[in-house]
Structure 1
Amino acid sequence: MIWNVLANKSLTGEKITNEEALSVLNCPDEELLSLLNAAYQVRKHHYGNKVKLNMIMNAKSGLCSENCGYCSQSSIADTDINTYNMLDKETLLKGAEQAYKMQAGTYCIVASGRGPSRREVETVADTVKEIKDRYSLKICACLGILKPEQAELLKGAGVDRYNHNVNTSETHHDSITTSHTYDDRVNTVHTAKAAGLSPCSGVIIGMKESKQDVVDMAYSLNALDADSIPVNFLHAIDGTPLEGTSELDPRYCLKVLSLFRLINPTKEIRISGGREVNLRALQPLGLYAANSIFIGDYLTTSGQETTSDHRMIEDLGFEVEIVEEKGTVTS
C-alpha cells in the first residue's frame, strides 16, 4: 500500500474504503513510519503542529449501577477505589484553576453513573458559570445519558462540549455492557448536538474486539460527526471483567491512531486513557497522527507527570495551544 494515496484521499474528502482501512491496521511494522508520515500530512494540514491539552476532574467516583466490563467504577467491579458523590463547587473551581495553570485549554468535568440527577446537573451548571467568569477554559461535561432539558441547562450555563463515548462497535457492544444499549450512547450524542453542545465521542481499544470492529468504530464516529474523538487504549484493571487483558502493543496503537486520523481528517483526535501503559516509549510518535492529549491523571488511574508531557511536545518541535489570559487562546 502506498500510504500517501490514503493521505491524499483523506485530504480531498474522498472516503477510505473498508479494505483500505483494514490495511492500515495490518500495516507491516517496517512501513509504520511511512504510514505515520501519511497521517501527519493530514494532521498538519488541519492543525499544524499545535497540540491541545485537556484535563479531567473526576467529579463523582464509583457508585455506578452500570456493568461496563472495563470500568473500575462499575457495579460489578471488585476494585479498591475512592467513592464519593458529586464534588462541591469550590473543589470543582480549584480543579479549573489547576487546569489553567497546566495550560490545558479544556477542563473536563466527569461523573460516574448512568445519568445525572437534577441536582448534579445544577451543580455543574452553577460551577461552569463561575469558571467562565474567571478563566478562558473550554468546558466539557461527561455525566452519562442525558435528557434534552439537562443538555439545554448545561448549554445555557456555558458548557462548550459534551462527551459520551460509544466505546466500541455496535456489534461488540453487548460483550462489554448490557445495562444500556449502543443506541443509548448514540442518542445521547444526538441530544447534546441538538442542544448546541459540541459532540465529543470516542472509543476504547483493546477490549477483545476485532480489527473490523475498530474500523467500524472509526466510521461510526465519522457518521456521528463528533468534533472530538478520544482514543483510549485499555488499561486493564484488576477486579474488572477485563482484568489481565493485554492485546495491544505500541506499534498497533500507532496504526489505530493513524486510522482514526485518515477516516476523520478534520476532527480533534485525542490520545486518551492508557497511552502511558500501551504506547510506552512510542508516545511521542502518536502526536504525528493525533493533535490532542489528556494531561494529569485519569479517572481512577494515574497519568505521567505534566512536565513530561510538555517536554515531549517541545522535543517534537510542536506547540502547546495555551491559554494566555481570560478570553484568549494562543500558541
Structure 2
Amino acid sequence: MISELHQEYGALAEKVLAGKQISREEALRLLEAPDERLLDLLAAAYRIRKHYFGNKVKLNMIINAKSGLCPEDCGYCSQSSVSEAPVEKYALLDKEHLLAGAKEALQRKAGTYCIVMSGRKPSKREVAEVASAVREIRATTQLKICACMGLISQEDANQLADAGVQRFNHNLNTSENRYEEICHTHSYQDRIDTVEHVKQAGMSPCSGVIVGMGESHQDVVDVAFSLHELDVDSIPVNFLNPIEGTPLAGVRELDPRYCLKVLAMFRYVNPEKEIRVSGGREVNLRSLQPLALYAANSIFVGDYLTTQGQEPTSDWKMIEDLGFEIEEYAQ
C-alpha cells in the first residue's frame, strides 16, 4: 500500500506536468494522504512547483489601509460587524501613509505591495485616493501593486487598472456549497462577479481560500477547482487564526500536517499559479513552516491585517536555509 501511494503521487505529478488536469477524486486522495506519506506527497508537489517556479519565492507585504468599520458579517473576520475583537478602527489612510508603506515593502524585499481596505465596497472617493497613491508609487518604483477593497464595480476596476494597479484580490474563502454558513450579507456570486470585473479590467485576478472554518475535505477540493475554473493568477491559502471575539473563535481543527497536504493539493490542481501561504501560517504550520515552500512559491512578509506575522529577517533566513531564493525586484 505504501509503495502504491508513493507511485500514485509521482504518477499524478507526471500527469500534471504533461498538461492534464487531475480529477476531484484524485485531489481528495491527496488531501487525505496518510501522515507517514507526507514527505512523499511534498516531494511530488515540489516537482511541479520547481518546474514552473524553480526555487524562487515571491514576497508580498500588506498594509491595512482601512481598518474595522465593516458592515459585513463574515464569521472569521475581526473587522466585521459581528466581531467583538478589540481591533483598531480608522478610515482610509492618507497618501503619505500609503507611500511610506511602499517604501517599507521594498525594505522587506517584497515584490508586491498589497493595499487592503475593510468594508463591503469602496466609495468613489476611496477609489480615487488609492488610484492617486498608486500612480505616485508606480512612477518611482517597480513594485507590483495589489489592491483588496471589497466588492467593486466594472467602472471602479477600470479606474484602478488605469492608475497602475496590476493585481486585485478578492477571495472566495470557502466553497459555494457552504458560503452562507460563513457570511449572510453578500453572496458567493458577488465574489465571483468581482473577480470577473478584475479580469475584464485587465488586472491580474488574485483569489484564495480560508481553510479550517469547519468545512469538509470535499469543500476544500471544490474551492481549489473553482479557483482553477476562474483561472486566477494568484491563490492565497489562509489557515484560520481563530480570533477571540469573532464567531469562529472556538474553531481549532487544523494541524501542520493537514495544512501541508492542503498546499500540496492546491499545487496539483493549480500547477502554474502563484500559491501563497497566507494568514495563519505561523500559528498553524508552526515548526513545519519551511516545508510549505516545497508546494507554495509565495508568502506574506511581516504582519497581516489585525494579527502579527513572523519577523521579516526570520522569513529571509528560512528561505536561505532551504536553499531557495527571494525573487528580487528592481527598485
TM tier relative to shorter chain: over 0.9
SS state at 1:141 partner = strand
Q: Which amino acid aligns with 1:68?
A: C
Quote the Cα distance in structure 1 between the aligned partners of 2:281 and 2:12: 25
Q: Which amino acid aligns with 1:207?
A: M
Matched, 1:8 2:14: yes
Structure 2 match to 1:230 = 236
The number of residue pairs the alignment matches comes to 325
State TM-score, norm by structure 2.
0.98
Residues 68 and 79 of structure 2 are in contact (CA less than 8 Å); yes or no, is this contact kept in structure 1? Answer: yes
Structure 1 match to 2:135 = 129
Q: Which has the higher helix share?
A: 2
Residues 28 and 217 of structure 2 are in contact (CA less than 8 Å); yes or no, is this contact kept in structure 1? Answer: yes
- Per-residue Cα deviation, 1:106-140 (whole angstroms, up to 9, x for no partner): 00000000000001000100000000112110000
State TM-score, norm by structure 1.
0.98
- Over aligned residues, Cα RMSD in angstroms? 0.6
Structure 2 match to 1:329 = none
Match of residue 113, structure 1, among 83, 105, 119:
119
Structure 1 match to 2:184 = 178
Matched, 1:90 2:90: no
Residues 45 and 264 of structure 2 are in contact (CA less than 8 Å); yes or no, is this contact kept in structure 1? Answer: yes
Quote the Cα distance in structure 2 between the aligned partners of 1:324 and 1:201: 26
Alignment of 1:320-331 (within 5 A): 320-325=326-331
Structure 1 match to 2:162 = 156
Structure 2 match to 1:144 = 150
SS state at 2:168 partner = strand
Quote the Cα distance in structure 2 between the aligned partners of 1:190 and 1:149: 12
| Superposed displacement of residue 189, structure 1 | 0.1
| Superposed displacement of residue 63, structure 1 | 0.1
Structure 2 match to 1:33 = 39
SS state at 1:151 partner = helix
Structure 2 match to 1:79 = 85
SS state at 1:3 partner = helix
SS state at 1:172 partner = helix
SS state at 1:323 partner = coil
Q: Give the gaps of 5 or more residues in structure 2.
A: none
Quote the Cα distance in structure 2 between the aligned partners of 1:180 and 1:12: 39
Structure 2 match to 1:328 = none
Residues 141 and 330 of structure 2 are in contact (CA less than 8 Å); yes or no, is this contact kept in structure 1? Answer: no
| Superposed displacement of residue 324, structure 1 | 3.3
Quote the Cα distance in structure 2 between the aligned partners of 1:230 and 1:25: 17
Matched, 1:273 2:279: yes
Structure 2 match to 1:216 = 222
- Per-residue Cα deviation, 1:231-273 (whole angstroms, up to 9, x for no partner): 0000000010001211100000000000000000000000000
Residues 235 and 276 of structure 2 are in contact (CA less than 8 Å); yes or no, is this contact kept in structure 1? Answer: yes
- Per-residue Cα deviation, 1:188-220 (whole angstroms, up to 9, x for no partner): 000000000100000000000000000001000
SS state at 1:287 partner = helix
Structure 1 match to 2:209 = 203
| Superposed displacement of residue 323, structure 1 | 2.0
Quote the Cα distance in structure 1 between the aligned partners of 2:15 and 2:246: 41
Structure 2 match to 1:246 = 252
SS state at 1:256 partner = helix
Q: Which of structure 1's runs of 4+ aligned residues deviate more than 4 A?
A: none
Match of residue 296, structure 1, among 294, 302, 312:
302
Q: Give the gaps of 5 or more residues in structure 1.
A: 326-331
Quote the Cα distance in structure 2 between the aligned partners of 1:154 and 1:207: 32
